Amino acid sequence: MKLLTALILTLVACTACSLAPEKPFTKDELYKTGIYTYFTVNDSPESVLSAINKDGEVVLDAKYRNRAVWIKILGKLEGLTIQVIDK
């Protein structure tokens, strides 16, 4: 329970710090991350890109080998960065 609370507080703090990227990201850049290859993601690539290009980040509910995970994608100047968090 403490871990969940800490995770939620961290996500809220990071959300307050995120900004929209200067250059919009493309589907090719999203596919290069490999999230649609290695994970089962419920959200479409279009909705993920829309959220990243609007807010600068997105947190996805996904599965990896029948294990529930969250995938946090940040849009940075260097490109998209991925962080996988166990539920």
pLDDT 10s digits, 18-64: 667 778 999 999 999 999 999 999 999 999 999 999 999 999 999 99
Which of 42, 7, 49, 50 lies closest to 27, judged by CA? 49
Which of 34, 32, 36 lies closest to 47, judged by CA? 36
Residue 37 token pair: 């290859």
Domain ranges, ordered by start, for the chain: 2-86
Distance in angstroms (rounded) separating the CA atoms of residues 30 and 8: 25
Which residues, other chains included, contact 87 with Cβ-Cβ below 8 Å and sequence gap of 6+? 68, 69, 70
pTM, 2 dp? 0.74
